């Protein structure tokens, strides 16, 4: 029955906590690869978790993606967070507008009644153009806000899928895969041991900054994403992993 089922999920959560040394693991029943409503639930759960750790004056940095897009949608309209700031974690990474971190930051701020700043940095700039853009006062201000983020909410993706979705060239995709990439997060690609094997040129938060952030909320589900989640968890242990049953069961299976 349902009570046994939920106990089963909390048993799985405990085992994932131990295996990956996470502070917290939350598991939504179902598999978002098979059922879109599970992704909505992931968004709702992440929104509730975010609310529970939000303090006055916090800076929240968010990434993009279809899972992250459900976080603002899962957040009720609130008041009392006028002094909270929401920013995108990184500049343009080639996502469609609805899935961009900028869009999600603005929507989340709208739900919280919070402030937001956006980052307008085009993709794939050469080093010189990048250098001059990041020195623009308006952009510098946003980057410094991002660097002092108190909370980060981010998605995790499969390497090949994300490389294609972000429009990397076939040559680069081949190279990334040859280097063993299985996961992507924040524009960084990781092999199965959690080593960075490729980095997209962009500005903002680096995965290397994650260790200095008070709460890192990782949200990713779907049985097909388990290898990517596993690889990323080897790189960084988030405060909480919010996932679904499909991914969670697979995470325990793979060695």
Binding site for ligand BG6 (CB under 6 A): 63-68, 154-157, 162, 184-186
- When the beta carbons of 117 and 154 are compared against ligand BG6, the nearer one is 154
CB of 112 to ligand BG6, least distance (A): 19
CB of 68 to ligand BG6, least distance (A): 4
- When the beta carbons of 8 and 179 are compared against ligand BG6, the nearer one is 179
Helix ranges, the chain (H): 2-20, 36-53, 70-73, 101-112, 127-134, 137-147, 159-165, 170-178, 226-235, 245-253
The set of residues, in sequence order, having a beta carbon less than 8 Å from that of 69 and lying 6+ positions away, is 43, 98, 99, 103, 104
CB of 7 to ligand BG6, least distance (A): 28
CB of 65 to ligand BG6, least distance (A): 3
Dihedral pair phi/psi, residue 114, rounded to 5°: -100, 175
- When the beta carbons of 30 and 65 are compared against ligand BG6, the nearer one is 65
What residue number has its CB nearest to ligand BG6? Answer: 157
- When the beta carbons of 81 and 186 are compared against ligand BG6, the nearer one is 186
Do the Cβ atoms of 246 and 33 come closer than 8 Å?
yes
Do the Cβ atoms of 218 and 2 come closer than 8 Å?
no
């Amino acid at each position: 029955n349902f009570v046994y089922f939920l106990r089963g999920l909390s048993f799985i959560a405990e085992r994932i906590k131990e295996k990956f040394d996470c502070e917290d693991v939350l598991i939504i029943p179902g598999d978002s690869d098979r059922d879109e409503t599970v992704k909505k639930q992931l968004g709702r759960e992440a929104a509730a978790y975010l609310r529970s750790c939000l303090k006055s004056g916090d800076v929240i940095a968010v990434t993009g993606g279809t899972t992250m897009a459900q976080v603002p949608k899962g957040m009720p309209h609130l008041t009392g967070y006028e002094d909270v700031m929401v920013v995108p974690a990184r500049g343009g990474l080639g996502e469609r507008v609805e899935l961009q971190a900028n869009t999600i930051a603005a929507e989340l701020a709208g739900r919280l009644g919070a402030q937001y700043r956006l980052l307008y940095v085009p993709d794939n700039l050469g080093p010189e153009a990048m250098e001059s853009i990041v020195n623009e006062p308006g952009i510098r201000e946003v980057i410094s806000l991002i660097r002092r983020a108190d909370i980060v909410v981010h998605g995790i993706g499969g390497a090949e899928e994300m490389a294609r979705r972000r429009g990397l060239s076939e040559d680069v995709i081949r190279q990334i895969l040859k280097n063993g990439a299985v996961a992507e997060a924040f524009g960084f690609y990781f092999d199965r041991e959690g080593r960075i094997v490729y980095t997209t040129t962009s500005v903002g938060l680096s995965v290397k900054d994650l260790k200095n952030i008070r709460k890192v909320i990782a949200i990713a589900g779907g049985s097909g994403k388990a290898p990517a989640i596993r690889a990323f968890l080897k790189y960084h242990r988030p405060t909480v992993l919010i996932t679904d049953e499909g991914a969670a069961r697979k995470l325990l299976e793979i060695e």
